[in-house]
Chain A
Amino acid sequence: MHVVVCVKQIPDPVVPGELDPGSHALKREGKLILDESDSYGVEMALQLVDKAGGGEVTLVSMAPNGEVSGLRTALAMGAAKAILVSDDALAGSDALSTAKVLAKAVERAGAVDLVLAATESTDGYTGTTPAQVAELLGWPSLTFAKQVDVADGTVTIQRQTEAGYDVVEATLPAVVSVTAGVVEPRYPSFKGIMAAKNKPVDTVTAADLGLGANAVGWAGARQRITQVAPAPAREAGERIEDDGEAFQRVVAFLEDLKVV
């Protein structure tokens, strides 16, 4: 079985985000890391290939400046190889442009049974890319999976719903987006980290994928930011140290609000 995992490389979420004052795009200058949300997809893919008794996991990523740090992390977990799309023409790409690039990259990966992605990324979190990729490929998409099984050319998932979950299935090839917690991602071993250094990363441009400059990047986005403003801040109120009696202050607060 050949599983492709879409992995996004993002600025470290621990560092507060910043917008470029000119373009209003998220600054992505520093080192990028593997989006933790995608470590679940990578782990799921490795487990599915294991269960199928053979095959491999290919990563696809779109990132600026030939960034591979996050890809190396996922390769160290056990993925076999990666396709990286990196091109100045892709700066400012919106979710649909990103999906066009990823769909082409999936096609470049050859015969693919399954594409995995996270339900949403940590930095942009539009949550639309996986289903857009599926639509562009003409494949079914099973989104918000909290469990994934593959057997006999069919993928079956438990799909998160407002009320609980649904069991949903489709024939392969298909795109599945997985929620955090679907599986427990492994930590790369020392051996894995060493091996990852020599695993192939096929670095390509938008043109290599046959995408014209109008389809992607700023030109493709067709939306413009008209205003950026700080949100009205909420004021912190009263704060007390619990001396054993703080609960009484809470009771008084509840009484004032008339919720008791």
Chain B
Amino acid sequence: MGLAKVWVFAEAEGDKPASSTLEMLTRAREVADVVECVYVGAGADALAGALGEHGATKVYAVDGGDGLPGVIGAAALESLVATHSPDLVLFAQTYDGRDAIARLSAKLDRPVITNGTALSVDGDAVIVGVAIFGGNMLVDTAFSGEKPYLAAIRPKSFAAEPSGGAAAAVEAVGAVDAGRAGQARVLERHVEEREGPKLEEATVVVSGGRGLGEAGAYDPLVEELAKLLGGASGASRAIVDAGWVPYSKQVGQTGKTVKPKLYIALGISGATQHLVGMKSSDNIIAVNKDGEAPIFGVADLGIVGDVHKVVPKLIEALRARG
């Protein structure tokens, strides 16, 4: 076996552990004897079952109040790490995960390896694989300094699988002093409404890009096709930045990574930063009027054509089937 103890900085979505947390636990238990979590937020007890089922034996639970979870988490981790000496702490490459790993690295004076998509242990070496240049090159990096090692892993890098473990024991951690950094306070939370399956979990994802021509084309083409296929709708950054759709729909390097059974790209050129978020999909269909668009390089079925002509006919044909 590899490492004695690996920790996962756990995050929640509603009252369940985030899928990225369960993915990291699954990989962690393959390379470590003991896997434990550190969690900031309310309701750790509700998470303990699923965390345990995926390999965690213990959850250090911190009540973050209205502080930022990453900031409070780093402060809590600083003292927990000193007491319990984990070999490696894994964070998801998410908003709070990035805050936490960044602050902890500065507190402990340890380097970070980020954007990891693979993790392995070879003798003493802990190696994180990172896909660079839009996923065209894979770079393996080994830590060479003192432990604990700190790594951030991109969601969807591993498949989450239950191990059948018992619920993790919850150990409450007392109040944490994050100093002046802890002054940052969350005043309000806004949740954007969403219909249908979650983008990262859908079996079909239909995404639209600048080739749609205008914001008004997104609903009748992208949303409609996604709905007919029981899928989720996504987007390129170009139309998120243009304000056509919310950021939560963005697929790619700075958005979500998706691995559906089928990904349909409508009017998306296929920039490397977009490809890195979707090219591990099982099947890819692209519609683009430019036969030279890079998206065709990864498409199983490429239609060189106008989205405004192809997609309405497709929608009509699917509707006719009922």
**With A138-B181, A250-B301 in contact, is A222–B111 under 8 Å at CB?**
yes
Chain B residue total in the interface (Cβ 8 A): 93
Q: Could you count the A-B residue pairs with CB atoms below 8 Å apart for me: how many are there? A: 259
Q: Could you say which residues of chain A place their CB within 8 Å of the CB of B262?
A: 254, 257, 259
Tell me whether B253 is interfacial, beta carbon within 8 Å.
Answer: yes
Q: Select one of B102, B254, B306 contacting A135, CB under 8 A.
A: B102
**Are the CB atoms of B261 and A259 closer together than 8 Å?**
yes
**Chain A at the B interface: mostly helix, strand, loop or mixed?**
mixed
**Are the CB atoms of B112 and A248 closer together than 8 Å?**
no
Tell me whether A164 is interfacial, beta carbon within 8 Å.
Answer: yes
Distance (Å) between the CB of A167 and the closest chain B CB?
4
Q: Could you say which residues of chain B place their CB within 8 Å of the CB of A236?
A: 296-299, 302
**Are the CB atoms of B140 and A226 closer together than 8 Å?**
yes
- Identify which of B22-30, B184-192, B214-222 touches chain A: B184-192
Distance (Å) between the CB of B182 and the closest chain A CB?
8
Q: Could you say which residues of chain B place their CB within 8 Å of the CB of A166?
A: 186-190
**Are the CB atoms of A251 and B318 closer together than 8 Å?**
yes
Q: Could you say which residues of chain B place their CB within 8 Å of the CB of A249?
A: 301, 303
**Chain B at the A interface: mostly helix, strand, loop or mixed?**
mixed
Tell me whether A181 is interfacial, beta carbon within 8 Å.
Answer: yes
Tell me whether A228 is interfacial, beta carbon within 8 Å.
Answer: yes
* Chain A residues numbered 139-155 whose CB sits less than 8 Å from any CB in chain B: 139-144, 146
Q: Could you say which residues of chain B place their CB within 8 Å of the CB of A167?
A: 186-190
Q: Report the separation of the CA atoms of residues A159 and B179 in the bound assembly, to the nearest whole angstrom.
A: 21
Q: What is the 8 Å Cβ interface bit string for chain B, positions 119-162, against chain A (1 contact, 0 not)? A: 00000010100011101111111111110000010000000000
B residues contacting A by CB (< 8 A) are: 13, 68, 70-71, 74, 93-95, 98-99, 101-103, 105-107, 109-115, 125, 127, 131-133, 135-146, 152, 179-192, 203-204, 229-230, 237, 240-241, 243, 246-248, 253-254, 261-262, 279, 283, 285, 291, 296-306, 309-311, 313-314, 317-318, 321
